[in-house]
Amino acid sequence: MANQHFATIGDIWKHLPLAEILTIERPSKVWESHAGSAQYPLTYSWKREYGAYHFLKHAQESLPLAQSQYNAILQHLASTKDNKALFPGSPRLAMSLLGDRMQYLYCDLDWESLETIKVCARELGVASEHVETVCAEGIAVLYERLLILDVNNALSVLALLDPFDPFKHNEHGYNSIDLFRDLTARGVKAALWYGFDSLTGNESETHSTSRAGRHEQLRRVLHIQEEDDPTLSNKLWCGEIFLKEIERLQFRVNPSVLGCGFLCANLSSESVRACELLAMGLVEIYQNSRLPGGSSGTLRFETVQF
């Protein structure tokens, strides 16, 4: 399996809002540029203890989390006995929530990950003609589909962009932020995940992976064609969670990411409100959490204007 970061806090602040958004928006097409596996064996590690296991144990303490779509699926898959507990990836979440009548497009460079999606689709009763898997560079594939997408059908597509590095350019010179911007401008419902490891970064190398560095890079790319689409900012919602002690923890204890953002476009206000309630629930259940060594695992939530 190509994705080793599964079931950590970064996955929770991606799948939790994603599951709710899928349920509320009910797209008829789901596209993923970096799909990963349908699911993963849920085995123990301290990073997963802080991520999926903490969520599983404490979700009941917050009403929005307890009632969330994500909680229902995760509790069910994780409770399977005999070492068969599973952690769902984004493809399984979407197919479980939307079922057979939708059209799914999953891209990944790793064909084994794509095989798990085909098997999972069969298990969930999703017909094989509704699930297209493409073993190729995902940004290029989604650009091809975007070019031929009828503008009247744009709002029926939900695209998730979930690369390891959202700022990495493909061989055509485009990265996931370029794609996110162009999907947004076309009217597609889009979501992009990104991580960061400090608030500002002290030196030039660390600044680019800091929160401030990420914001600068995102603003630069998102507003490149401002004169073409002055309303772009109004179409966006971005929620970030990060460890309260992020600056102190940098280079010490890192539970996969110290902070991450879920940037979305063209969502209904109902979805936005639901995501904000879920983020507040997450903050609530991490209030007294601890990382190995005793550092505080408390989270903060902020929305960002781009």
Ligand X SMILES: C[S@@+](CC[C@H](N)C(=O)[O-])C[C@H]1O[C@@H](n2cnc3c(N)ncnc32)[C@H](O)[C@@H]1O
Positions touching ligand X (CB under 6 A) are 2-3, 14, 33-36, 89-90, 107-110, 113, 137-138, 162-164
Neighbours of 114 (CB within 10 A): 22
By C-beta, is 232 or 271 nearer to ligand X?
271
By C-beta, is 87 or 232 nearer to ligand X?
87
CB 169 to ligand X: min, Å: 10
By C-beta, is 138 or 187 nearer to ligand X?
138
By C-beta, is 232 or 267 nearer to ligand X?
267
Please answer whether residues 107 and 32 qualify as being in contact, where contact means their C-beta atoms are separated by less than 8 angstroms.
yes
Please answer whether residues 86 and 41 qualify as being in contact, where contact means their C-beta atoms are separated by less than 8 angstroms.
yes
By C-beta, is 163 or 232 nearer to ligand X?
163
What is the distance, to the nearest Å, from the Cα of residue 62 to the centroid of all Cα atoms in its chain? 21
Please answer whether residues 127 and 100 qualify as being in contact, where contact means their C-beta atoms are separated by less than 8 angstroms.
yes
Q: In terms of DSSP bridges, do strands 86-88 and 259-265 run parallel, antiparallel, or are they unpaired?
A: unpaired
CB 189 to ligand X: min, Å: 16
Neighbours of 2 (CB within 10 A): 14
Q: Compute the Cα dihedral for 118, 122, 128, 132 and give only its sign.
A: negative
Please answer whether residues 36 and 10 qualify as being in contact, where contact means their C-beta atoms are separated by less than 8 angstroms.
no
By C-beta, is 195 or 232 nearer to ligand X?
195
CB 61 to ligand X: min, Å: 25
CB 198 to ligand X: min, Å: 21
CB 124 to ligand X: min, Å: 15
CB 90 to ligand X: min, Å: 3
Please answer whether residues 105 and 134 qualify as being in contact, where contact means their C-beta atoms are separated by less than 8 angstroms.
yes
Please answer whether residues 197 and 254 qualify as being in contact, where contact means their C-beta atoms are separated by less than 8 angstroms.
yes
